[in-house]
Amino acid sequence: MASQSKASFNSNYYHQTCPQAEKIILQTVYNASMHDPKVPARILRMFFHDCFIRGCDASLLLDSTPGNQAEKDGPPNISVRSFYVIDDAKAKLEMACPRTVSCADIIGIAARDVVTMSGGPYWNVLKGRKDGRVSRANETINLPAPTFNVSQLIQSFVRRGLGVKELVALSGGHTLGFSHCSSFESRLRNFTSLHDVDPSMNNEFAQKLRKKCPKPNRDRTAGELLDSTSSTFDNDYYKQVVAGKGVFGSDQALFSDYRTRWIVESFAEDQSLFFKEFAASMVKLGNVGVIEDGEVRLNCRLVN
């Protein structure tokens, strides 16, 4: 992973070259979210899924070509949507300051904006990322899965230079969003030979989810919100996990492992602590695999 000298990677990177960049991105994201309340959760997830593969280089935005299946068509990313929001911001930025703002920086700024807009913390996004030219669907196997246990999650984050605290803080991104049944239904039936339902799951909650996700399921849109205030960025996710109501196995696992449980409890008790750690973790995640020798794409879906 190429790391950059801090001099060229800072929060005022576009101060001279495109002073209105952040305002243009915020306006675009805000308008899109007003039309579609699912946008904030989708943009936040886009940032995670981009940074976890090859670092934050907007490789997730590249379209597949006849010769290459791109990341966005890898199994975990089929449900990542709202790419049009980034395209829209990019088109406006190309008019205001051509060939200046990278697609990777747009995702980083947009992810911060959707969190702040939803009631979460604000942080200064470091800028100066370049866009990568490589995007491979088969690399998405390296995204942490909703079925992971804590050891697998820790390992996945450590590979990206992120520790246990960052793992628990960034999992709190699930305070925004929704999951389809396919990501958690293995917890609801035939979980193990001993337990039909995952025993770490609150019983009433499990019954509720079984009703929402019947077998066979004819409803492609069926699923569950990841916390009870899914359009507000708050610490409700951690309270749910403490109550045995984490939707993913990987969410609930954070409470059943001594390495992470105390952090979950501290975030459930203190929202401002969670906000502080989430913001710091997002800055750290945004530094993963920043590339200097990439390009500034003119169209986020295509290499130049």
Residue 76 has pLDDT above 80, yes or no: no
Check which CATH number belongs to the domain holding 204 and give it.
1.10.420.10
The answer to whether residue 229 sits within a structural domain is yes
Among residues 92, 118, 143, the one where a domain terminates is: 143
The answer to whether residue 275 sits within a structural domain is yes
The average pLDDT across 127-138 equals 92
Determine contact, residues 302/131, Cβ cutoff 8 Å.
no
Picking from 208, 186, 184, the residue whose alpha carbon sits closest to that of residue 196 is: 186
Residue 6 has pLDDT above 60, yes or no: no
DSSP 198-260: -TTS-HHHHHHHHHHS-SS---TT-EEESSTTTTS-SSHHHHHHHTT--SSHHHHHHHHSHHH
The answer to whether residue 154 sits within a structural domain is yes
Model pLDDT for residues 81-97, shown as the tens digit of each residue: 899 999 999 999 999 99
- Residue 217: per-residue pLDDT: 78
183: pLDDT confidence band, cut at 50, 70 and 90? confident
In angstroms, the Cα distances linking 248 to 121, 203, 227, 234, 259 are 24, 15, 11, 18, 18
The average pLDDT across 207-214 equals 89
DSSP state of 179: E
Give the range among 38-52, 168-182, 220-234 with minimum mean pLDDT.
220-234
How far apart CA 56 and CA 291 sit, in angstroms, is 8
Among residues 143, 177, 192, the one where a domain terminates is: 143
Do residues 118 and 154 both lie within one domain? no
The answer to whether residue 87 sits within a structural domain is yes
Binding residues for Ca(2+): 50, 55, 57, 59, 71, 175, 229, 234
Determine contact, residues 17/100, Cβ cutoff 8 Å.
yes
The answer to whether residue 295 sits within a structural domain is no
Domain count, the chain: 2
CA 4-276-85 angle, to 5 degrees, is 65
Residue 4 has pLDDT above 70, yes or no: no
The answer to whether residue 92 sits within a structural domain is yes
5: pLDDT confidence band, cut at 50, 70 and 90? very low
Do residues 124 and 222 both lie within one domain? no
In angstroms, the Cα distances linking 189 to 198, 209, 213, 214 are 8, 11, 10, 10
Do residues 136 and 167 both lie within one domain? no
The average pLDDT across 35-39 equals 91
Do residues 139 and 154 both lie within one domain? no
Do residues 242 and 175 both lie within one domain? yes
Per residue, what are the HEC states of 11-54?
A: CCCCCCCCCCHHHHHHHHHHHHHHHCCCHHHHHHHHHHHHHCCC
The average pLDDT across 64-83 equals 85
Do residues 161 and 272 both lie within one domain? yes
- In this structure, how many other beta carbons lie within 10 angstroms of the beta carbon of residue 292? 13
- Residue 42: per-residue pLDDT: 93
How far apart CA 223 and CA 149 sit, in angstroms, is 22
271: pLDDT confidence band, cut at 50, 70 and 90? very high
The answer to whether residue 243 sits within a structural domain is yes
Do residues 76 and 167 both lie within one domain? no
Task: Supply the mean pLDDT for the chain.
Answer: 90
Binding residues for heme b: 174
Binding residues for substrate: 144
Residue 185 has pLDDT above 90, yes or no: no
- Report the SS3 class of residue 155: helix
How far apart CA 182 and CA 184 sit, in angstroms, is 6
Residue 24 has pLDDT above 50, yes or no: yes
How far apart CA 237 and CA 254 sit, in angstroms, is 12
Do residues 167 and 271 both lie within one domain? yes
For residue 35, indicate whether it is catalytic. Answer: no
Do residues 167 and 279 both lie within one domain? yes
- Domain membership of residue 129 as a residue range: 20-143
Do residues 136 and 203 both lie within one domain? no
Among 35, 49, 180, 195, the one annotated catalytic: 49
Model pLDDT for residues 95-126, shown as the tens digit of each residue: 999 999 999 999 999 999 999 999 999 999 99
Do residues 113 and 164 both lie within one domain? no
> Is the pTM here over 0.85, yes or no?
yes
User: What's the burial of 116, exposed, middle or buried (CB within 10 Å: 0-12/13-18/19+)?
Assistant: middle
- Residue 89: per-residue pLDDT: 97
Do residues 125 and 158 both lie within one domain? no
Check which CATH number belongs to the domain holding 84 and give it.
1.10.520.10
